[in-house]
Amino acid sequence: LGTCQQIWQALTDAAYDRKGLLVNLGGGVIGDMGGFCAATYKRGIAFAQVPTTLLAQVDASVGGKLGIDFMGFKNHIGVFCQPKLVAVCPAFLETLPPRELRSGFAEVLKHCLIRDRAWWERLRRARPDRLPEGLSWLDIVAHSIGVKDAVVAADPTERGLRKILNFGHTAGHAVETFFLQEGPKLLHGEAIAVGMVAEAYLSWRRGWISRPDLDAVAACLLGIYGKVRLEERRIGEMAALAVQDKKNEGGTVMAALLEGGIGQAGYDHALSMAELEESLRFYASL
């Protein structure tokens, strides 16, 4: 919020009027914060997103969710507001640290898993530093934005379908929060990779994906992200963190799972604590 004040101050000093355009050049933090400041300055001026990380290009800059952290809570204050323009240039990825590139790639894989089996087959053996023959970042980013954009267009304010974008994020956020508190901190995509393995397992347990598909998801994600060590005696605590999730309703933990197989996610699947713990134990057993 302190940084937002500086931005509002700069807009005021520069005498920005309501015809102004704020251009947010940077990663997801800049896009979210700059967008939030634009959406609230004088009740809203136009803004453009120029995302420079893979995560921001395929995820944060698309969909109109703008949030800032407040008192230690992530995205606690925010609005829905669409940018006038999102300009994506893959050349920015050339300077991105490899770990950040890998983190963003988790959302690319998520988009394939929830909506597009054919693209999952194309990308599941890819590595962010070794793209498949004939595919460029431009192709991959364009496909990924296309998936998110179509989902958001069908449900801009997350009343239904948009929830499928949360695949991997129920277990993943719990793991992310746990390591934020305990260290070492994980990048978002690294935590979501754990969450996608756990939630693919739950999809398999419900008979929605085959065992070879589950094994392929686990092999792909562990191959790229390695294995995060989850201590058996802390798994209960970790799963309990999922109760805090914004996606829950009335204290029930809700998740998006691959209910129609790979490439077809569904939402609003209630999870018991026992199931969540079992899914994290499955990950730990790999």
Residues annotated catalytic, as ranges: 43, 65, 107, 148, 158, 162, 166, 169, 173, 188
Please, what is the minimum distance in Å from the beta carbon of residue 82 to ligand NAD? 12
- Span interacting with ligand NAD, options 13-21, 92-100, 208-216, 220-228, rule CB under 6 A: 92-100
- Between strands 73-80 and 85-86, the pairing is unpaired
Torsion angle (degrees, nearest 10) of CA 84, 90, 91, 95:
100
Q: Which residue has 């994906």 as its token pair?
A: 209
Judged by CB, which is closer to ligand NAD: 55, or 171?
A: 55
Can the peptide bond before residue 184 be classed as cis, meaning omega within 30 degrees of 0?
Answer: yes
**Nearest residue to 212 via CA among 86, 121, 84:** 121
Sheet holding 46-51, edge to edge: 21-26, 46-51, 85-86
Please, what is the minimum distance in Å from the beta carbon of residue 100 to ligand NAD? 5
The site map against ligand NAD for 177-196 (x = CB under 6 A) is --------------------
- Span interacting with ligand NAD, options 88-96, 208-216, 233-241, 272-280, rule CB under 6 A: 88-96
Judged by CB, which is closer to ligand NAD: 66, or 218?
A: 66
**Nearest residue to 154 via CA among 165, 143, 144:** 165
Judged by CB, which is closer to ligand NAD: 191, or 235?
A: 191
Q: Which residue has 């992530």 as its token pair?
A: 74
In contact, 241 and 174? CB cutoff 8 Å: yes
Residues 52-81 that bind ligand NAD (CB under 6 A): 52-53, 55-56, 59-60, 63, 65, 75
Judged by CB, which is closer to ligand NAD: 67, or 275?
A: 67
Please, what is the minimum distance in Å from the beta carbon of residue 242 to ligand NAD? 17
Count other Cβ atoms within 10 Å, centred on residue 135: 14
Residues 98-117 that bind ligand NAD (CB under 6 A): 100
Q: Which residues are CB-neighbours of 162 under 8 A, at least 6 positions away?
A: 63, 151, 152, 154, 155, 156
Please, what is the minimum distance in Å from the beta carbon of residue 25 to ligand NAD? 9
Number of continuous H segments (helices) and E segments (strands) in the chain: 11, 7
- Span interacting with ligand NAD, options 23-31, 42-50, 196-204, 221-229, rule CB under 6 A: 23-31
Helix (H, G, I), strand (E, B) or coil at 212: helix
Query: Residues touching ligand NAD: how many (CB under 6 A)?
Result: 19
Judged by CB, which is closer to ligand NAD: 68, or 216?
A: 68
The answer to whether residue 168 forms part of the interface with ligand NAD (CB under 6 A) is no
Helix (H, G, I), strand (E, B) or coil at 23: strand
Please, what is the minimum distance in Å from the beta carbon of residue 92 to ligand NAD? 4
**Nearest residue to 194 via CA among 208, 211, 210, 177:** 177
Q: Which residues bind ligand NAD (CB under 6 A)?
A: 26-30, 32, 52-53, 55-56, 59-60, 63, 65, 75, 92, 95-96, 100
